[in-house]
Amino acid sequence: NFPFRNGFMGLKAETEIALGKREINGIYIADDGYLIEKYKTPANTEKIAGNFKKFYRAVNRENCSVSLMLVPTASVIYQDKLPSFVPESEQMAVRNEIYEKSGLPRIECYDALMAAKDDMELYYHTDHHWTSYGAYIAYTAYCEQKGIRPVSLDSLIKKEVSADFQGTVYSKLNDGRMGKDTITIFENPANKLSVYYADTKETTDSLYNFDYLNKKDKYSMFLNNIHPLIEITNEGADSDRELALIKDSYANSIVPFLVNHYKKVYVFDTRYYK
């Protein structure tokens, strides 16, 4: 920490971009205003796959369907927007290795995201997460492979809740000339939600905490940021099924679509659930 740190970072990034540099602090300056994080190959792929395999063996039962969705990042889906010097990512090979060695049935969303990438913004320009549109495309792929009829976007209420979002990737550059993202959400008026946060003992009727829109980390409005366990009940769901979702923060923006089909959803974040 030092005075005017963000200003110095922004000046440094602005100067390097002016000199033609397209990679700064592990961030690629991509086409169409995208800032895309450089992919880092995990060092413990074998352990990851092994843990998934142990989990699958432990919980797989006749009345319990277990599956795994590994979401590709913007560096894969928007490979064509990256600078020409960037080599092809190892990410897809790593994903396939984890899928194969874990033995879990896969939910593949790559093809659906690739098919939609020119029709809508699937990832934020300034953040590493996907947008609600990206989450929706993956949700439709999930539904197709689970035999569920997805809700159409046209049947949901669309709300643009922020037009000045600058996310985690932007923060690594702090170049004020970079653009801002719009955060859009989709709500189903038929849903009757009760959302319980086990760590704070709070219960609400919304999947969002709009207070975060007044803070820097606006993406945290989805599911009220990070919690070890969230229990969501939807009396308006189209079935009595239950879902246990073990996730990272990408899933926070797909949950608003999944709740349409499950009366009860348990959301675990293993980074905080001990």
The rounded average pLDDT for each run of 10 residues, N- to C-terminus, in the chain (274 residues) is 58 54 86 94 93 93 92 97 92 96 96 97 97 98 97 97 95 80 97 97 98 96 97 97 96 98 97 86
Residue-level pLDDT at 23: 86
Residue-level pLDDT at 19: 45
H helix runs in the chain, sequence order: 5-18, 45-59, 74-77, 91-102, 110-116, 132-146, 168-171, 255-258
Residue-level pLDDT at 48: 94
Residue-level pLDDT at 174: 74
Residues with Cβ within 8 Å of residue 12, at least 6 apart in sequence = none
Residue-level pLDDT at 252: 97
Phi, psi (5° rounding) for residue 212? Answer: -70, -15
Residue-level pLDDT at 21: 67
Question: Hey, what long-range contacts does 239-244 have (CB within 8 A, 24 or more apart)?
Answer: 239/263, 242/266, 244/268
- For residue 171 the two structure tokens come to 């923060």
Supply the pTM of this predicted model.
0.91
Residue-level pLDDT at 5: 59
Bridge partners, 196 (sequence order): 203, 231
